[in-house]
Chains A and B, each alone.
Chain A
Amino acid sequence: MATAGKVIKCRAAVAWEPKAPLMMEEIEVAPPQEGEIRIKVIATGLCHTDLYHLVDGDKRGFPVVLGHESAGVVESVGPGVTDYKPGDKVIPLFLSQCGKCKFCKCPKTNLCESSWATKYHDIMAEPTSRFTCRGQTILQFMGTSTFSEYTVINQNAVAKIDENAPLDRVFLLGCGITTGYGAAVNTAGVTPGSVCAVFGLGAVGLAAVMGCKNAGASRIFAVDINEKKFEKAKVFGATDFLNPKAYNKPISEVLIEMTNGGGVDFSIECTGNTEVMRSALESCAKGWGVSVVVGWTNVQDFSAKPIQLIYGKTWKGSLFGGFKCKDSVPKLVRDYMSGKIMLDEFITHKMNLEQVNDAINLMKTGQGIRTIMTVSK
């Protein structure tokens, strides 16, 4: 490529400070260093985690280019990179999989010692960056920064995918869908015939519903205060629909009653709200219920009575659905291509990167599920 080895000037949406609208800026993207890949971003989505950081994030995490759910094409590779070449279709990953550290060798976790999440989860970014704007370093959100026409990522955090994969669909596997789906099939370990409840019906929650269905759950309660989401939940496999505001008692009591006093076998919380995390645990069956926290928050503690756990419930969390990212994302792409998982149905709006603040407003107001933003042609 004509740009290999050179600084690329391109457009990116920069968050200069918390709570302010993103600004389209011309930035400079340095060439990839050892073990790094520079990627031309073709399509990206907006996740609640981006919004969370923008609204509530640590000030030390700014200025930053957000975005961590995308798909693109390799533009060039740095020294030592042999598994990728220009033109490869790839999905940047916000977790890493070096394959060598104690975490990568352990089947119980998808953490990796080389990941920003292992060390810098307060500021949601590595301290070093390949982005500059007007002489100032701009951080790369979650090691990915996909609200930019070009980004640079360590090869440990890049998944090479099928050359026929439609990038305007599979970008969703960079975060939301993989996270929700994996929370059900991996972290919760949903079993055939089981009863499940999913709290929060954004993209992550709907993916969790899809995971419960694919795992063979017999009954899937979809819970959200916004009833407009129930129709889409049905598309993904939900069997029952509950709006907590329609009841004058806690939703956990409603769920326990609707399951003949037993509670659900698996609950998956996809809101990032600590009260909902508690409700999800309390909705579970005594003796064997498993509740998985998926929604992200760094602001508030959640609480519960230990007796809930003593009486047999299990509380777990899930990061990127518990998937080993480089191994799993290419498989999920193939699952989509073979019809095992849905992706198209998550996309409700199409924009380009210049309209990123409109996408943010849609998310803030609970409209739509996922907006796809075209970044580069």
Chain B
Amino acid sequence: MVAMETEGKVIKCKAAVAWEPGKPLSIEKVEVAPPKAHEVRIKIAASGVCHSDWAYLYDIAKMKPRPFPLVLGHEGAGVVESVGPGVTKVSIGDKVIPLFLPQCGQCERCQSPKTNLCTKNWEKTQQGVLADGTSRITCKNQQVHQFIGISTFSEYTVVPEDNVTKIHPDAPLDRVCLLGCGVSTGYGAAVNTGKVESGSTCAVFGLGAVGLAAVMGCKAAGASRIIAVDINSDKFEIGKTFGATEFVNPKDHSKSIQEVLRELTNGGVDYALECVGDVAVMRAAVEACSPAGGVCVIVGWIEVEELSLAPLDILLGRTLKGTYFGGWKSVEAVPRLVQDYLSRKILLDEFVTHRLALDQINQAFDLIMSGKSIRTVIEM
């Protein structure tokens, strides 16, 4: 083991701090404490910028409140800088992806093949702190919360060991960071949660990174028709790259999108994946499904609003489910997904439309809101 110069010491580095909701991120000098028992400090090489990062800052009416000040970011990749006592799974120098969903391997949920929702540290990481109830990031003598226990909008961060997975040493960190959230979520929604079958007809609502990954998942599962739905027709070209066979812009039709899709498919799709996070779109996605065993998967993230449905839409035989991180058991699945990328089974490069420096991070949010980006990668 090669000791790092910084091991055991507080690291001063740059991070994008959200001091309060509704305000742009502020690039600050922060202090990152050494990892405690069962924690890993990571030098972040690259981080994607997710719609949910934006939502917790600017769309807080739709999200459960998170404590501020806060360092956002949950789609990162980096290298282990040091480990705390008791850490055995990763070592200094390992390439890793921090995970907002842990996998302790011991709890009831980890032992069950039906779910990936590990309960380890859940309450704490949702509140932006680690196992001991504190965060490892401070700025101007103030504790700064770590978004879902991760905070990848910082040059260094500290995460619990169950929230980190070691990946192949050849993995390009500026691409595989996307497997920390968006791509794994959309892809897994199709193959794990929806369990899309060969020869089936699918509809994917919303062609951001998550939706495009869902399209890719439907294709990998062997769907014969993949109908991409978005109000921005500019996204149809990239939808085709990922495997979409048809494109529908709801604004081009006077009928509801679910009626359009039912007509296009003679009764409804076999699988619908909602990747927008809008309750009206969720309802449309359910109603677009075939009543004969159609499955709708809610993928888009939404915490507060309520979905409304006619009972008959469920009674006739549709199934409604949701997915968190694509249903993947995070620690064991992400390295396999990296491997799939390295062996060209899944695409990642094609998601990256912009690259920015940490100082430019607020531009990444502007790009999200303008609909001009799929994924912006922040290179640290």
A243 interfacial by beta-carbon distance below 8 Å: no
Q: Does B318 contact A (CB under 8 A)?
A: yes
Whether A309 contacts B117 by the Cβ 8 Å rule is no
A109 touches B317 (CB 8 A): yes
Whether the Cβ atoms of A318 and B315 lie closer than 8 Å is: yes
A277 in the interface, Cβ–Cβ < 8 Å? yes
Closest to B286 in A: A315
Q: Which residues of A contact B307 (CB under 8 A)?
A: 303-306
Question: Nearest-CB distance from A79 to chain B (Å)?
Answer: 30
Are B322 and A303 touching (Cβ within 8 A)?
A: no
Residues in B with CB closer than 8 Å to A250 are none
CB contacts (< 8 Å) of B308 on chain A: these are: 301-303
A40 and B39 alpha carbons, distance in the complex (Å): 76
**Binary interface profile of A, 306-322, with partner B (CB < 8 Å = 1, else 0)?**
11111111111111001
Would you call B144 an interface residue if the criterion is a C-beta within 8 Å of the partner chain's C-beta atoms? no
A312 B115 Cβ-Cβ under 8 A: yes
A111–B316 touching, CB < 8 Å? yes
- Least Cβ distance of B170 to chain A in Å? 33
B209 within 8 A of A: no
Q: Which of A103, A277, A308, A322 is the most central at the interface, judged by chain B CB atoms within 10 Å of its CB?
A: A103
Interchain CA distance A47-B301 in the complex, whole Å? 40
Contact of A309 among B112, B292, B298 (CB under 8 A): B298
Shortest beta-carbon distance, B360 to chain A, in Å?
31
Could you tell me which residues of chain A, from 155 to 203, have a CB within 8 Å of some CB in chain B?
none
Q: A109-B292, A309-B298 are in contact. Are A317 and B114 (CB under 8 A)?
A: no
Q: How far is the CA of A287 from the CA of B309 in the complex (A)?
A: 22
Smallest CB gap from A122: residue in B: B312
**Contact at A296–B292, with CB atoms within 8 Å?**
no
A312 touches B324 (CB 8 A): yes
Is the beta-carbon distance between A313 and B322 smaller than 8 angstroms? yes
Contact B117 A312 (CB under 8 A): yes
Q: Give CA–CA (A310, B111) in the complex, Å.
A: 19
Contact B302 A306 (CB under 8 A): yes
Check: A286 CB closer than 8 A to any chain B CB. yes
Contacting residues, chain A, for B310 (C-beta < 8 A):
298, 301
Q: Which of A294, A298, A310, A311 touches B312 (beta carbons < 8 Å)?
A: A298
Q: Which 5 A-B pairs have the closest CB atoms?
A: A108-B293, A309-B322, A287-B115, A317-B314, A109-B292
Residue ranges of A at the interface with B (Cβ–Cβ < 8 Å): 102-103, 106, 108-111, 117-118, 121, 262, 272, 274, 277, 286-288, 293-298, 300-319, 322
Give 16 new A-B contacts, CB below 8 A, not counting A111-B291, A288-B112, A316-B318.
A277-B311, A286-B117, A288-B115, A293-B315, A295-B311, A296-B311, A298-B311, A304-B307, A306-B282, A309-B321, A312-B115, A312-B324, A313-B321, A314-B320, A314-B321, A316-B314
Residues of B whose CB lies within 8 Å of any CB of A are 108-109, 112, 114-117, 279, 282, 291-293, 298, 300-324
22 A–B contact pairs at CB < 8 A?
A: A108-B293, A109-B293, A121-B316, A286-B115, A287-B109, A296-B311, A297-B311, A298-B310, A301-B308, A304-B307, A306-B279, A307-B302, A307-B303, A310-B298, A310-B324, A311-B322, A312-B115, A313-B321, A314-B321, A317-B316, A319-B315, A319-B317
